[in-house]
Amino acid sequence: MTRRRFQRGVTLIELLIAISMLSLLSVGILMSMRMGLGTMARTNARLIQNRKVQGVIRVMEQEVSGLMPVYANCNAGGGVSGVRIAFFQGESQLMRFVSSYSLQEAGRGYPRILEYLVIPGDEGNGVRLVVNEYLYSGPLSTGAFCFGLAYDEGLGVAMPQFRPAEAGTQSFVLADKLARCRFLYREAMAPPMRAAWTERWVKRGWPSGIRIEVDPLEPDPSRLQVSTLTIPVRITRDMDREYEDN
């Protein structure tokens, strides 16, 4: 009688089961990798956005703290002679001053005349904060922004008349998609009185501090957003003495 020798092997069903399990495992690994890469991409995008916001905050702090107490030959006719004024315009939606810091050259280049301007957002959706930069070359360059003086009945004094500011192709967007944005100016008061904040700067000279109030249109706690900044302004020059000497 012949003895049959049985050989160990894999049946077709077992092979199909193994291939199916390997396919499911591969799909699971691919899905996990895809989810991981997607999470990494979102994290990188958020980090890049946060760095941009940090850069904008640093730029605004540097520009405002770099405010220079310069003057303007304010003349409606555009001549060399004119009324000499401290060059600073402070409104709730517009701010003009000269700074030693600029977006183009940081703190290493020439001073710039800066225009901070609040304009409507795209399709009227909120507002945005933009800045214009112009080269400062002396009192004549700042005088180009002033059209003379006019008597203000509400204040009872003559106030400089500045030309309107406009956003253009060279404007840099500092913050977008904002619910509101306004500028406040601090007037230093002698003790024991506390410093006062105002939406319009009507004093001679420069404020002791500037506050940029910002509210995002869509608050998102998960990411960094431009928020309200309060920046001190330190003026070391004696403006009254300079007026007397000149």
- pLDDT tier for residue 81 given thresholds of 50, 70 and 90: low
Domain span at residue 215 reads 67-245
Q: What is the pTM of this model?
A: 0.77
Domain presence at residue 60 = no
Mean pLDDT taken over the chain: 84
Residue 12 belongs to what H/E stretch? helix 12-65
pLDDT digits (tens, 9 = 90+) for 102-161: 988 887 888 999 999 999 988 878 999 999 999 999 888 999 998 888 888 877 888 888
Domain presence at residue 40 = no
pLDDT greater at residue 77 or residue 68: 68
Which tokens belong to 243?
């007026």
Share of the chain above pLDDT 70, in %: 87
Q: Would the pLDDT of 246 be above 50?
A: no
Find out whether 160 and 85 touch, Cβ atoms under 8 Å: yes
Domain presence at residue 4 = no
Domain presence at residue 17 = no
Domain presence at residue 58 = no
Q: Would the pLDDT of 239 be above 50?
A: no
Domain presence at residue 229 = yes
How crowded is residue 103: how many other Cβ atoms within 10 Å of its Cβ?
16
Within 118-231, residue ranges assigned H as helices are 139-143
Domain presence at residue 220 = yes
Cα–Cα distance, 123 to 198 (Å, whole number):
30
| Total tally of structural domains belonging to the chain | 1
Domain presence at residue 24 = no
pLDDT at site 84? 86
